[in-house]
Amino acid sequence: MFSTRPLLAAAALCLHATVACAADPQDPVKALFGLVAGKAGADYFAGKQLDRLYSESFALTYRITEKVSEMSEAEMMLDFDPIIGGQDSCDVKDIAIRALPAVGAGEDGYVPVEASFDAMSCFEGSEKAPKTKRTFRVIEEKGQYVIDDVLDTTTDDAGKAVTLKELLVGIAAGDMNRVAKLGAGTP
């Protein structure tokens, strides 16, 4: 006789683990916005989130930047919310997530996953404001989809889009210079 208990247990584990069985490129982005929905100021990189939702490359970049920032005695690593895209926002609502056509193939390939949402509804005149959009670079790693980068986190002085990983690398480089100066006894 065929038992469905092992199948039901596996399905329950997938549902409980949020992303451990991520079969769709949208899954890690949905899990990320599940942390955010209805509240502002979520910590997207806390604890196990970094290992569950993000690629090994992203997690390493984040951790290195975090350590270097601590060593440099910087007040804060990021002075804005890189997912929502601002310093002050309202509770996030009206979240829509969709996968776009894959870009590239193999190790260089990824699926852009676009999230649009309202994070400004508590501000006067917000009914006229367009929804905020973020595009996530989602890759398959060790049999599951994970976020490898946020493609449109901010812009540089020339107006060029800067990804979150690029921003983190820049912060680490700047903080390393500060650490070197502190070690040499210069402010």
Give the C-alpha separation, 64 to 172, whole Å: 7
CB 49 within 8 A of CB 59: no
User: Which tens digit of pLDDT belongs to each residue from 43-61?
Assistant: 788 878 899 999 999 999 9
Percent of the chain with pLDDT over 70: 74
CB 118 within 8 A of CB 94: yes
User: Which tens digit of pLDDT belongs to each residue from 139-169?
Assistant: 999 999 999 999 876 667 777 777 899 989 8
DSSP H or E run through 96? strand 93-99
pLDDT band at 24 (very low <50, low <70, confident <90, very high): very high
Q: Does residue 121 carry a pLDDT above 50?
A: yes
What pTM does this model have?
Answer: 0.78
Q: Tell me yes or no: is domain 22-58+75-154 CATH 3.10.450.
A: yes
* Mean pLDDT (the chain, rounded): 78
Structure token pair of residue 73: 């005695």
User: In angstroms, how far apart are the furthest CA atoms of the chain?
Assistant: 76
Give the C-alpha separation, 92 to 89, whole Å: 8
Give the C-alpha separation, 48 to 21, whole Å: 15
Quickly list DSSP for 123-169.
STTGGGSPPEEEEEEEEEETTEEEEEEETTSEE-TTS-EE-HHHHHH
